[in-house]
Structure 1
């Protein structure tokens, strides 16, 4: 059990500078070394809720995903607002889903696998 799977998310460290033409600085956040199995169960429930709740708006779904990633998966290392302000938009929704898939099914993103292969 010493070789526990981890995942990472990349957030832009300096979004204000980048919006003014500055160089992008990326901040990598790793999941905690241990994620309780309860979080796996909650991730599966979240997927179920997102798929079956026909009354939930898309913005509510985004809020649930962002809140879960920030508070349950990454244990408060950053906030939901950090996700909204510092996650690159074109891939943002997929990145959040990949984070929840990692917990629910143990699937690491290709970026994480590549990073670990180079630096692990």
Structure 2
């Protein structure tokens, strides 16, 4: 079975506010990685993972690289603006790093594996 990952982005209404279910909890769209992720993704993620790109770029440029990488990993099922507007800020950087780590090493924590197993 192919290794896969997922990302959840909060649903937003036309005004940009989080969409809520009947209990008042945020609703999410869940995206799965493609069945085949080209090895080129690992190659491209290498500099992001070891921090080599950090030295000459601003923090925002490094963040842009991570956002672009995650959009590419998921085959452009969503946009960079979707990530910027629909990820929860306190968790966003860790989520982006986890997505890139998954591509670089195939690593995923046990809780995430359980959630993924329920989806597929």
Query: Aligning the two structures, in what range does the TM-score lie when normalised by the shorter sequence?
Result: 0.7 to 0.9
Consecutive unaligned residues in structure 1, runs of 5 or more: none
| 1:8 corresponds to | 6
By percentage of residues, which structure has more helix? Answer: 1
Q: TM-score when scaled to structure 2?
A: 0.83
Following TM superposition, by how much is the alpha carbon of 1:23 offset from its aligned partner in structure 2, in angstroms?
3.8
Consecutive unaligned residues in structure 2, runs of 5 or more: none
Give the whole-Å Cα distance in 2 for the aligned partners of 1:64 and 1:109. 24
Give the whole-Å Cα distance in 2 for the aligned partners of 1:31 and 1:87. 17
Q: TM-score when scaled to structure 1?
A: 0.83
Give the whole-Å Cα distance in 2 for the aligned partners of 1:11 and 1:74. 13
> After superposition, where does 1:1-120 map in structure 2 within 5 Å?
3-14=1-12, 16-18=16-18, 23-48=25-50, 50-71=51-72, 73-120=73-120
Between the two proteins, the alignment pairs up a number of residues equal to: 115
State the secondary structure of the residue aligned to 1:9.
strand
Give the whole-Å Cα distance in 1 for the aligned partners of 2:79 and 2:31. 12
